[in-house]
Structure 1
Amino acid sequence: MRVLVIGAGGYAGSALTERLVEAGHEVVALVRPGRTGSPGAAEVRQGDLADAASLTAAVSPDVDAVVNAATPSGDAALDAAAVDALTAPLRGSGRPFVYTSGVWVLGATGTGTLDEDAPTDPIPIVGYRPEIERRVLATAADGVRATVVRPGIVHGRGGGIPAMLVGWAAEDGGPRVVGDPSVRWPMVDVDDLGDLYAAVLADAPAGTVWHAVAEPAVPVRDLAAAAARATGADGAERVWAVEDAAMELGEPFAEALALDQSVGAEITRERLGWSPSRPGAVADLGEGSYA
């Protein structure tokens, strides 16, 4: 399969590219003008999420599938136009289109664990994203094998949001958490996420939503403590009030880091045979790729 990957040079996109190449696929990396491609890609094409014509041109007839693994722009109209531009050449073809969303669209989950069928209740930083998900899934009626993947907080390879915890621990000499230390984050290793993308491309029916979550609810306090171990710091835990964190990080992101969630992926595991196998987030932070 020849797969166009938007965001192939990014954190998740580079792991996805490696996974697809290992599975015998050819990756066409779409990068912004002036950027380099992703290692392993068979071809590099230039395009920009803000340039709809460049996106449509990149989805040529020789492309068998498209995965949008790029970070959303934060602009609802721009992201909607990008979805329309990427799916226009796919309509009526049955070719796959995979859109990357995230578990923050579910909002605070309370005492239960939310599955793939749960209604969305997004926090402000992703407030418009459920509508983008619906826009993607609606293309299934036009002959696109459209699917949505919602990763948890991604860890592994020393990157992602958990790298912030390591940086804070080094700065403070001990763990730092935003808001209530008892909040929980759904977690997934970046290479397990790559495995799920490959499974979705191979087997997922049109119009479906999948959760990329290996660990449904990891206490942030445990993640922050592991981050401190990675740096050799042994100081006391610092609780960073959301309003104080917002002054440095911006209110929407600070609120997202303080979000308590428990998110499951049993439907994804059962229907696609996805079986995450990499070390858990606490082990990865304390003794793995961040140490």
Structure 2
Amino acid sequence: MRVLVLGASGYVGSAVAEQLTDAGHQVVELVRPGRSGQAEQAGGRERRIGDLTDPGSLTASVTPDIDALVHLASPTGDAATDAAAVDALTAPLRGTGRAFVYTSGVWVLGATGAATADETAATDPIPIVANRPDIERRVLATGADGVRASVVRPGIVHGRGGGIPALLVELARKHGAPRIVGDEGVRWPAVHVDDLADLFVKVVGQALAGTVWHGVSEPAVPVRELAAAAGQAAGVQAEPEVWPLAEAAAELGASFAEALALDQSVSGDAAREQLGWRPQAPDAVTDLRSGSYRARS
């Protein structure tokens, strides 16, 4: 298939583009104006021009030769703009049965408490992702109009020395001790970026219209363990310490600090059972302690 990928140069997007290519698909990158000319090739890939704030450019990019579209670009943060972008991208797909995969995240579920949330759980988003459930519903509704639309909700992504775990390493180095935002008992759902990319490939090829998938290989990793491993990657010997939410908010911003303090347990079993997803990469603590993060410390 020819797959148009928004955000193909990003942390997750670059891994998804690589694995789509390895699976035999042809990736076409959608990039913002000024990044390249319309016909320029990027690493052998065709590039097209589009901007999330310009719906016309998005619709024009989804030509009949595009078999599937994966939206991995960061949202603009404006609800109306992000909704208009989804409408513009899906308009050429309506009635065709072609795939549209939208990237959301597990933060839309809010704090899960003692239960483990699967894809049927109600959303209760924290402020940083307040608009995401509405966008998810907008995407899934296109299934009734002949779009093979799916939503992927990744957990906390690690691997290749990037993502939020890289921030834990940076914070440990900066403060001289690993940091746990808010509460020592916080848990994060986690997934390696390579395993997540494999899930996207499977969703593009197999998922039915109107489906939601949790990109989670570890349902509830104690952040204390992640922080301790981040300290080892940073060469810091001190034990992890709790960072009061107000202090973390002053440095990181209130919405992001609240997200880091979110306690969740989230299941990714549906993708294993229905799509044959088999995560193979190292777990998050091992990756931080002795994998890609130590290599970059």
Q: Normalising by the residue count of structure 2, what TM-score does the alignment of the two structures yield?
A: 0.95
Give the deviation of 1:40 after TM superposition.
4.4
Q: Secondary structure at the match of 2:293?
A: coil
After the TM superposition, which of the residue ranges 35-44 and 83-92 deviates more from structure 2?
35-44
Q: Which amino acid aligns with 2:278?
A: S
Q: Which amino acid aligns with 2:239?
A: A
Q: Are the aligned partners of 2:228 and 2:239 in contact in 1 as well (CA < 8 Å)? A: no
2:29, 2:46 within 8 Å by CA — same for their partners in 1? yes
Q: Secondary structure at the match of 2:48?
A: strand
Corresponding residue for residue 16 of structure 2: 16
Distance of 1:71 and 1:226 partners within structure 2: 28
Q: Identity rate of aligned residues, in percent?
A: 67
The DSSP-based 3-state class of the residue aligned with 1:24 is coil
Decide whether the 8 Å contact of 2:106 with 2:154 is kept in 1: yes
Partner-residue secondary structure (3-state), 1:188: strand
Among candidates 186, 190, 205, match of residue 189 of structure 2: 186
Q: Following the alignment from structure 1 to structure 2, what is the Cα–Cα distance between the partners of residues 194 and 237?
A: 31
Distance in structure 1 (CA, Å) of the matches to 2:8 and 2:167: 22
Alpha-carbon separation, structure 2, partners of 1:146 and 1:90: 10
Q: 1:195: which partner in 2?
A: 198
Question: Are residue 252 (structure 1) and residue 255 (structure 2) matched?
Answer: yes
Structure 2 distance, partners of 1:35, 1:12, is: 19
1:221-260 Cα offsets, whole Å, 9 max, x none, are: 1001100111111023232111111112211111000000
Q: CA deviation at 1:39?
A: 5.9
Separation of aligned partners in 2, 1:183 and 1:289 = 23
Question: 5+ unaligned residues in a row in structure 1: which ranges?
Answer: none
Distance in 2, matches of 1:188 and 1:26, equals 25
Would the aligned equivalents of 2:62 and 2:92 in 1 still touch at CA under 8 Å? Answer: yes
Q: List runs of 5+ in structure 2 lacking aligned partners.
A: none
Q: Please, which of 164, 172, 193 is the counterpart of residue 161 of structure 1?
A: 164
**For the Cα contact (< 8 Å) 2:58–2:89, is it kept in 1?**
yes
How many residues are aligned here?
291
**Structure 1 runs of 4+ with >3 Å offset:** 36-41
2:149 paired with 1:146: yes
Is residue 132 of structure 2 the alignment partner of residue 129 of structure 1? yes
Choose from 257, 274, 278 the match for 2:277: 274
More deviation, 16-25/232-241: 232-241
TM-score if structure 1 supplies the norm length?
0.97
